[in-house]
Structure 1
């Protein structure tokens, strides 16, 4: 089962409320995905481990804030920082150059680790179809806002439920990990990090499926977490080592913000992309575009409603992470 199937199944139960984040649980692309709320972690039967859905079609499962944590985020007046000392001002020529600059920017970013009792707050805005089910075959689109909190010690999570903050004591073990201690302990050597990713996914380097899953996994870690600078830099350097990562657009649009888009082809017809700020090289979000026509089969209880045909050039999803920051209490947003 691919990620389009996962998203189509998820849309059938996706709430439209901006205040209720949702969580998609996936068992990689070849295993039936399981969907659940971002409360108690969805666990896989008899496995005890939830594998976080990867890829641009899993962007519906994230979190967010009002101030960007990345170097080159936003100033007090709400405008994005545009000056990053030490980095060339000229546009990047290829994906390798963009990822080198992103790694250098991450390395130079000031960072104070969260205390164990503090919370990591994130906000993500997803632009996707208005359809409650079915693949994204074109507009009209709608924007969904997802917010969530994770305590830095990895023992609690929180979300808004019925207008109130609800705290969950079970955080759960996930692949890739979501708790800050595990993320801070990830290898900072890009080769070692890739070996860890392949091992976590049960893959070996050398296969297209392994490369794509590695690219998706690294994107999930970037998207959903507040990372130590060395860890973030290692992710960009690991992406550089994956075959097939190319520069797509030097002037992409990330929901009204200029962006660099780079990515890989997935399943032969999707282009899954990471978007970076063109001046600060901070992570902005992701998008997925069909690069050729594709017919997908229906899944679930109503396969006819979930089947469809996607034309070349159709935007599947545009996800922008407003920011990620540290707060003292769940329900609190950074300012």
Structure 2
């Protein structure tokens, strides 16, 4: 009898599932031979104004039969929970590891495919300057002491043809084409195909309906199936320049990990993940270097640490009609 068999017999640990073995093998191969970095693509980014439901905590138990190369104990989810395995990295040290934890968390979410007549309801809290400052030219960073959070509530029908939003305390509902109302919307038939990095690449190169969008923006703007959300996080993990922001972030009373990449040499566009559950809880755009902005509307000065955008995701669910905020 070998040592592993003795340990299993002594501690009576259940054998890992085929899915767990496959995941461990893939993680090890990725560690030994990481994929080459892909060239960075720049795509149109849509402002995010949405919320994400918090994933339920998963109970875990330590498993004895861990690979020698593993730095931290392998854990397995409590069999009474939906999950069949645990967070891939107990103490992630890189952006790729945090994103893999986020992908795993997304995969644990319950999901029922929506009907074409149902709506995606997204709710967020956005840090915004007062209107008088927002309308000024040139525009700049959020002003400490003046910028305040505003709640944003939106409903988008699955087929993209109807949209609702709370404005001035009232629900407004519009149809595509009514009173010249038009908005971009990625077809649901396209969204459900995005279950791998290869399919996301294909979408970015040849988007259905001609509308392309940053995958990280999609994660914050659409109510996505778990496998699509997970694929987006894994896609981002493969992109060059993804890094962890070492600065601590406290978002809505919750400590968060900032992940992103540098844009225009001085701005860090970040997704914010809960430090415990690795659920996506927000987004921000922050300056990481001083910069002088010169444009047709004037010159403005950016200082390291200036915050341009901060969003807290509060809720993301499928509902039956505009105005409804819970299933």
TM-score under structure 2 normalisation? Answer: 0.68
2:322 match: secondary structure: coil
1:220 correspondence with 2:220: no
On the 8 A contact 1:262/1:274 being kept in 2, the answer is yes
Please point out which of 166, 179, 191 is paired with 1:183.
191
How many Å apart are 1:180 and its aligned residue? 3.3
The within-5 A match list for 1:1-335 is 54=45, 58-59=47-48, 62-64=49-51, 68-72=52-56, 81=57, 85=77, 86-87=86-87, 90-130=90-130, 131-132=133-134, 133=136, 134-136=139-141, 138-140=143-145, 141-161=147-167, 163-170=169-176, 174=184, 177-186=185-194, 188-200=195-207, 217-249=214-246, 251-299=248-296, 303-304=297-298, 307-334=299-326
How many Å apart are 1:196 and its aligned residue? 2.1
Q: Which runs of 4+ in 1 moved over 4 A?
A: 81-84
TM-score under structure 1 normalisation? Answer: 0.66
2:153 match: secondary structure: strand
1:287 match: secondary structure: strand
How many Å apart are 1:292 and its aligned residue? 0.8
Show CA shifts across 1:37-89 (max 9, x none). Answer: xxxxxxxxxxxxxx9x517xx34xx245xxx43523xxxxxxxx475741167
Give distance in 2, aligned partners of 1:83 and 1:319: 29
Structure 1 unaligned segments of length 5 or more: list them: 1-27, 30-50, 73-80, 202-213
Show CA shifts across 1:149-168 (max 9, x none). Answer: 01123221112345432222
Shift of the 137–106 alpha-carbon distance from structure 1 to 2, 3 Å rule, reads closer
How many Å apart are 1:240 and its aligned residue? 0.7
Tell me which structure has the larger Cα radius of gyration.
2
Give distance in 2, aligned partners of 1:311 and 1:137: 12
On the 8 A contact 1:287/1:319 being kept in 2, the answer is yes
Give distance in 2, aligned partners of 1:197 and 1:249: 30
How many Å apart are 1:248 and its aligned residue? 1.4
